[in-house]
A and B are shown apart, each in its own frame.
Chain A
């Protein structure tokens, strides 16, 4: 775990509504800055210049924005070939299509071939809430997590997004950056340096640990503040890296707090909760609860509404935490 609790004053979470940021802006601003310094950085997209927020990149580096049109298999294959030719391709597309349509290309051309491709899944989770389950990407952790060689990162705010993007560019090998478009407040300190497989303790606690990432981390922080008012001390860990999982932090959470609640904008089959549970059952068994989308296609609703619907509102998380603590022996 990197450092002690490094968030701002947790009470601020309950204060005036914090400013929300679309992490895509931090992603593309960082990408443009990296591209200024390294001419080998290119962006590849599938008619997703706007939705990937690559307009600025395109205007600055028109020849380095490769738009293959609506063709995700070719999108990922082309990315792998660019990497073979010495480029550092950031392959951007809606996460549902990037990971679902091109999964075999990700397996063979990127993971197995170990090419220096940065897969950037935009609008992941249920960001496209109302568009329905075809456009939800709540299986991508599970699909990519089953493949060797591809680190999976789901940043929690704009600061971590920028840090993870810079890390991905410097890392020699495949990366899956799972990004959202849903606004989130700042959680990590400015200047935060991303380290793969290192979770961040955002709030310490003793009665249970809530492990979350992506759009769920700030909800977990609000839930922890609510729980404090009810006399429960919740540790909150931001676990952006889903693979490789931070085993030490999971084991410490199990041993020191005796219960773990996971929160993710993903199906509970095969994602963050599963990755944490795999460590817990083998290294330090304690009661767990996994919050996420149960095994069903989601009903119609906005991204925020769907999260609330599935018990991922701060109040829902707090209620699950209280129920979980009662299961501790």
Chain B
């Protein structure tokens, strides 16, 4: 696949947002807020960065992407469908009985999914194992993992952060989707981890801070040129929950609320209007 330009990526992300919104509306469930915050990152990865092949989803030399914030599975499914891993029509089955498209991703059902996530704090340790495997083989494939910022409250992430630095996994990139909100509150009200950058730096990681909705900044941060030898990379992506939909943006209640018919029409219209 020819990598998309930032202009093309913005259009793709807009299409993915609209399809994700429709899927959540029709299913009557989902995690719309966190999906809107992560879609630009997923789009940049799948349409510009990742060396993956929908025809060979388990190619040993593929890059790995772990969506540790597995509750935003719908955004991953739509992205995988756009990229050709599953039929686009299948998105209509999201959450339906016996659908492959569960509320959290299942690698044994959905091609392109690398590990089953859902409980938080699982993706980064698994990604450490992936990156270690590549190192053992002296292979060049890269491992990327996206966590939520609230998810960073899970202690398992910090076990993995220590290990990644100790193992000098410069082939591992952690992207924190820093939308400042968790399921029931603002991070600042529960366990205010921010700022993330000095904490990751203290653990020996290279840290980049970007606007997680700016394609140019996302691509620049994901470039192999930014990797510092022997150090894992953390990208703190400043994002907005509900990005692109005015009445959802930065509102805690839109973690997993479902829009009414009226709100759905408004949201669709807003996503159509967005000018890249």
A23 close to chain B: CB less than 8 A: no
Number of residues of chain B lying within 8 A (CB) of chain A: 35
Q: How many A-B residue pairs have CB under 8 A?
A: 106
In the complex, are the beta carbons of B156 and A74 less than 8 A apart?
yes
A277 nearest CB across to chain B (Å): 31
Decide yes or no: A84 and B130 within 8 Å by CB, A108-B118, A109-B115 being known contacts: yes
Decide yes or no: A80 and B129 within 8 Å by CB, A108-B122, A109-B122, A113-B107 being known contacts: yes
Chain B residues near A86 (CB, 8 Å)? 60, 133, 137
**Counting chain B CB atoms within 10 Å of each CB, which of A42, A63, A85 scores highest?**
A85
In the complex, are the beta carbons of A112 and B116 less than 8 A apart?
yes
Q: Which residue of A lies closest to B118 (CB)?
A: A108
Contact among A78, A82, A108 for B117, CB-based, below 8 A? A108
In the complex, are the beta carbons of B133 and A69 less than 8 A apart?
no
As a 0/1 sequence over residues 186 to 223 of chain A, the CB contacts with chain B under 8 angstroms (1 = contact) are 00000000000000000000000000000000000000
As a 0/1 sequence over residues 119 to 156 of chain B, the CB contacts with chain A under 8 angstroms (1 = contact) are 10110111111111110110000010000000000011
Q: How many angstroms from the CA of A66 to the CA of B125 in the assembled complex? A: 13
As a 0/1 sequence over residues 54 to 96 of chain A, the CB contacts with chain B under 8 angstroms (1 = contact) are 0000000001101011010110111111111111010000000
In the complex, are the beta carbons of A74 and B128 less than 8 A apart?
yes
B234 nearest CB across to chain A (Å): 16
In the complex, are the beta carbons of B121 and A82 less than 8 A apart?
no
Contact among A74, A83, A109, A113 for B163, CB-based, below 8 A? A74
In the complex, are the beta carbons of A81 and B125 less than 8 A apart?
yes
B124 nearest CB across to chain A (Å): 8
Chain A residues near B132 (CB, 8 Å)? 66, 78, 81-82, 85
B167 nearest CB across to chain A (Å): 8
In the complex, are the beta carbons of B115 and A84 less than 8 A apart?
yes
A158 close to chain B: CB less than 8 A: no
B99 close to chain A: CB less than 8 A: no
A185 nearest CB across to chain B (Å): 38
Q: How many angstroms from the CA of A79 to the CA of B129 in the assembled complex? A: 6
Chain A residues near B143 (CB, 8 Å)? 81
Chain B residues near A108 (CB, 8 Å)? 116-119, 122
Contact among A83, A85, A105, A114 for B125, CB-based, below 8 A? A105
In the complex, are the beta carbons of B156 and A78 less than 8 A apart?
no
A308 close to chain B: CB less than 8 A: no
B18 close to chain A: CB less than 8 A: no
Chain A residues near B60 (CB, 8 Å)? 86
Q: How many angstroms from the CA of A46 to the CA of B124 in the assembled complex? A: 17
Decide yes or no: A68 and B163 within 8 Å by CB, A78-B126, A84-B64, A86-B137 being known contacts: yes
Q: How many angstroms from the CA of A108 to the CA of B137 in the assembled complex? A: 26
Decide yes or no: A85 and B129 within 8 Å by CB, A64-B136, A73-B121 being known contacts: yes
Q: How many angstroms from the CA of A73 to the CA of B126 in the assembled complex? A: 10
Contact among B115, B117, B137, B156 for A81, CB-based, below 8 A? B115
Q: Which residue of B lies closest to A149 (CB)?
A: B108
In the complex, are the beta carbons of B122 and A81 less than 8 A apart?
no
A104 close to chain B: CB less than 8 A: yes
Decide yes or no: A113 and B115 within 8 Å by CB, A68-B163, A73-B155 being known contacts: yes
Q: Which residue of B lies closest to A115 (CB)?
A: B115
B114 close to chain A: CB less than 8 A: yes
Chain A residues near B125 (CB, 8 Å)? 73-74, 76-78, 80-81, 105, 109
Q: A78-B125, A104-B119 are in contact. List 11 more A-B contacts (CB 8 A).
A: A63-B136, A66-B167, A77-B160, A78-B128, A81-B130, A81-B133, A82-B132, A84-B64, A105-B125, A108-B119, A115-B115
Q: List 6 A-B contacts (CB under 8 A).
A: A74-B128, A77-B125, A77-B129, A108-B116, A109-B125, A113-B107
Task: Across the A-B interface, give the 4 residue pairs with the lowest CB-CB distance, nearest first.
Answer: A81-B129, A85-B133, A77-B125, A74-B159
Mark B residues whose CB is within 8 Å of A. 60, 64, 106-108, 114-119, 121-122, 124-134, 136-137, 143, 155-156, 159-160, 162-163, 166-167
